[in-house]
Structure 1
């Protein structure tokens, strides 16, 4: 089984990404169960605005990775209480998948599961989770129960995930549950696919 993490930080490599650090906890948990995990930092790629798969940019390669993975994790920082602009662009490009079908005439996102990782030194994580999971569900992904984890400092500005140990134990425990739930539902769908 394969998992793809799309890190939607605004920072390009090699800048430190707090979002990647928490997403890596989910990836490590999946890896313990034999899942092959790949992480892509979308800000490092040329992804044009639009709602098509092939626009002559780097998205086509990301799309291929999406189709090769049974598990998707969208990882986003919180900015102004909302998903990052990179996460929004990812969802807009994934919109094309709604009308894409495989050889079996079923939507290409069927039998795939998705979850969300959110970080930020401000609140708004549940709003970000709701926006991203709602869009992924529209595209055709199955969202298991508690398929998310997040970290924040509460209201107002403050230190980043990397700057403090505050809340890490809870976020990492929730990440382990998220990974387990994603794998359980992905395994169930592999055995009993969603009908066309």
Structure 2
């Protein structure tokens, strides 16, 4: 089983990333389950603007299924007063639209409430909850991925 973590921080490598630090909690749990992981920072890539993920809706595999079928996805969010639930729902909805399966509780987030404050890498408060939900996220992603491997979704009729 393989996993790709796409870190959408605005900080270029090698600058420390709060999102990468929290995503590593999920990645480590998946790695312990034998998942082969790759991590990329979108900001380090030369990605031209445009709605490219919508193009995946017409791409199919050898069995005429959308290429995102039988793949799972989740979301990690860090920040202060960033509307974590809103961000999670928007990203999850967009991924589901193109065929990804989004397991229940396939997310974790960290923030300390409204207003400016310390970053995840600077603060220990709130980490226990974020790490617990990150572990649950990893378990749910892995469990659903195993289920889809055993019983893949068929092509839409």
TM-score range normalised by the length of the shorter chain: over 0.9
* 2:86 aligned with 1:127: yes
Normalising by structure 1, we get a TM-score of 0.78
Per-residue CA deviations over 1:154-194 (Å, capped at 9, x if unaligned) read 11111110111010000001000000000000000001011
Are the equivalent residues in 2 in contact too, given 1:122–1:158 (CA < 8 A)? no
Count of residue correspondences? 155
| 2:57 equivalent in structure 1 | 98
Shift, 1:104, TM fit: 1.0
2 CA distance for matches of 1:121 and 1:37?
A: 28
- Of the three residues 103, 110, 120, the one matched with 1:144 is 103
Normalising by structure 2, we get a TM-score of 0.97
Deviating beyond 3 angstroms after TM superposition, the runs of 4 or more aligned structure 1 residues are: none
Are the equivalent residues in 2 in contact too, given 1:123–1:156 (CA < 8 A)? no
Mind listing any 5+ residue stretches in structure 1 that lack a counterpart? 51-91
SS at match of 1:39: strand
Per-residue CA deviations over 1:66-95 (Å, capped at 9, x if unaligned) read xxxxxxxxxxxxxxxxxxxxxxxxxx3222
| 1:7 equivalent in structure 2 | 7
Larger RCO: 1 or 2 (CA < 8 Å, sep 6+): 2
* 2:73 aligned with 1:114: yes
2 CA distance for matches of 1:162 and 1:191?
A: 39
| 1:193 equivalent in structure 2 | 152
Are the equivalent residues in 2 in contact too, given 1:101–1:107 (CA < 8 A)? yes
2 CA distance for matches of 1:141 and 1:105?
A: 15
1 CA distance for matches of 2:52 and 2:18?
A: 24
Are the equivalent residues in 2 in contact too, given 1:121–1:161 (CA < 8 A)? no
| 1:43 equivalent in structure 2 | 43
Cα distance, 1:42–1:123 mapped onto 2, change above 3 Å: closer
Are the equivalent residues in 2 in contact too, given 1:4–1:39 (CA < 8 A)? yes
Task: Give the superposed CA RMSD.
Answer: 0.8
SS at match of 2:49: coil
Per-residue CA deviations over 1:51-74 (Å, capped at 9, x if unaligned) read xxxxxxxxxxxxxxxxxxxxxxxx
* 2:124 aligned with 1:165: yes
SS at match of 1:193: coil
